[in-house]
Each structure stands twice: as C-alpha cells, then as structure tokens.
Structure 1
C-alpha cells in the first residue's frame, strides 16, 4: 500500500532515522504509543518522512523511517467506522458523526486526521477540549465547486471548527480556500507550498 501524508504508522522506535537526538518528550511519547504520522516532505530513496506527536501543539519532531520497517499502516479512511468513537463524549466526536453523514452522502473517500485520527488509531487519548477536527478527503479528480460550497455550509453547523484538507495527486489544499473562488489556492506539496490555479496539476509542471 502506498504511504501518503496523514497515514499513521506503528513502528519500532529503534528504526527511526534522525539527524539530531530525539527530545525527551518524543522518547516518552513513543514509549506510550509507538506511532508516527507520515509527513508531506521529500524523503531519501527507500525512506518515508514521518513526524512524532507530543501532548502539546508545539511538540512535533521530524524524522525519517525506512519504508520497509512499517509494522501496520493506518490510513485516515480506515478510521471512519462509528463504533470507533461512539462511546467518546466530546464535541469533536459529535462533529465527526456529522462529518461522516455528510461525506458518506457524497461517497467521498475520507477520514479523520490530526489529534482525532491519532487517538482512534493509537487508542491513546490526544483529543482535548480545545481540539479542532481535521478531515482528509481524497480527490483524485477535480472537485465540483458547488459540491464544495455545500459541504462547507453544512459543516458550519458543527459544534467545533472543522478543517477539511483535500488531497490530490499534486498535493493538498484547504476546502474553505477553494470555495472562496479566488482563482488560486495554496497547494501543499512535497517540494513546499505554492500558489496554484489547478491543484490537480503536477507541481513540477
């Protein structure tokens, strides 16, 4: 299976490749939950760029992993079954239910990212009362503008802020920015961010 940004990987921490020592919080985090998140970055051949999450928003550490050292791979779209969060009492998970109804209605390939996705994948509590909900939508083909507008308007009814990142073959962009119809979106690519008129085009072209 292809490794993509936002995928959560269970690993053996001894397999991590880092050009600087891991901070103490990162070591403790991996002891609690040996999971990392695939980053959007250009990695050396045979490696994948990953990030270690800590308890605080500013606790993020970039590293690399040999791509043959993944134990299981958990994609956001693997985390959409409601039984995974049905007993979790939080506005974030109520918003996830609203999102599930909406994205399943449009038959999108989607899933939760960020702290919600990490908690559902690792079974370690990472969601707080301040957490937003990150949703990852796979869009290999251009997304109709009218559908994007409908989704953004429906998600405004959620009890917490929902950030929808649309993943294309070229990179990722914010759905809210896309529906503003400004003519450009900020496309996140493995080569860095760039303004794009067509976020489904190869960023090198």
Structure 2
C-alpha cells in the first residue's frame, strides 16, 4: 500500500504498552523517555506503519510497527533543514555549511539519521565523530554528472556526509549513483535490487 508516512519521518505517540512483549529493555526506556520512532522502509498496512526505535548505542536499533491511530505528531526530514541548535559539533557545522547550497539546488532536501533525530526531538544523538545524513527528493532523474558535482560539495564538508536520493521507486545512495558503476542498489519497502536506472519503475517489475 502507499502510505502518507515516508521513510525517515519521525513519529510521536508510541507508548511502552504498544511494544511487543519481547522488546529489549533499552527500547522500552527510549519510549518511556518520550523519544520519537522513525519510519522504516518496510511494508506497512492500512492500520500500522513500520517504525524503528533508537537506543543510545549505535547498535541499539529495534524494528517494530506502530498503530497509525496512535500517532500524535509527525516531523519530516524537510522540516529540519533550518532548525538550529546551540551544540557545536562537526555534523551540525557541516549542515550549516551545506544549507545554502542545498536550498539553491532546486530539489527538496532534508536531514535524517542522528542529526535529524536530535534536531527534531532535542535528545542528544550526535557526537564528535558522527556523520551527517541527508536525503534529496528526486522524483525526476538526477544525472550522474549532477550527482558528481553534488558529491564534491558534500565531500568538502567538515565531516562525512551521506545522502540518499529518494526516487518514486525507492532510495539509492548518491555516492553510489555518482560512481562509474553501471548498476546501483535501489532499496524500497519490499526489497533491495540492483538496477541501471533507479527512476525506471519497469526495472523493479522485471
């Protein structure tokens, strides 16, 4: 089904009681603290959306689902582009540096990953070595030359920057699309497959 909630959206409204009985203790603690959950790129239903719970450690990620009726608030990556914070970290410095360039690129963009989580929730998720995760909405094709130009700008930032191109058929890594490889890995709600053109829905149907 097509959901109005997109991968990387942050959702509030999950309670510990909604978690499965075998959920790890750290996931329960995260929800009890009032943290949002993030929409996962996985199959959802009319009543439930696939989400993930974040813990304090990088390896603490728990996949589950949430009742759509329980959602009280949603924040998309695009809503976080111009959120500012007093924290002085390389990922946030990179965001400030790239903001005017991305605003002028003509595509909708957003902040995801740890930076997006922190900017949306106020919970500290970034550290000195954190990368910056970004998304770029690309309903029309971004050429490989355009991808290389954009990647060069990202690589000049003060920390590692990973960007996902969000096509109508799924997501592909900008760095991979900018490479000389013929096929790239496209991820959608049901699978991950190698394609030549991530904007061609016929390739996934083949």
Once superposed, which parts of structure 1, at least 4 consecutive aligned residues long, lie more than 3 Å away? 14-18
1:128 matched to 2:123: no
The equivalent residue for 1:184 is 183
1:72 matched to 2:73: yes
**TM-score for the superposition, normalised by structure 1:** 0.92
1:165 matched to 2:167: no
Task: Give distance in 1, aligned partners of 2:32 and 2:68.
Answer: 21
The equivalent residue for 1:3 is 5
The CA RMSD over aligned residues, in Å, is 1.6
- TM alignment of 1:1-205, pairs within 5 A: 2-14=4-16, 16=18, 18=20, 20-81=21-82, 84-202=83-201, 203-205=204-206
Tell me how many residue pairs correspond in the alignment.
202
Match of 1:68, SS state, is helix
Is the contact made by 2:90 and 2:130 (CA closer than 8 Å) also made in structure 1?
A: no
Shift of 1:37: 0.1
Task: Give distance in 2, aligned partners of 1:62 and 1:119.
Answer: 19
Match of 2:69, SS state, is coil
Extract unaligned runs of 5+ from structure 1.
none
Query: Could you report, residue by residue, the CA deviation over 1:107-166 in whole angstroms, capped at 9, with x for unpaired residues?
Result: 221111000000011111111112111001111111122221111011111110000001
Task: Give distance in 2, aligned partners of 1:14 and 1:196.
Answer: 40
**TM-score for the superposition, normalised by structure 2:** 0.92
Task: Give distance in 2, aligned partners of 1:101 and 1:146.
Answer: 20
Is the contact made by 1:166 and 1:173 (CA closer than 8 Å) also made in structure 2?
A: yes
Shift of 1:78: 0.3
Match of 2:70, SS state, is coil
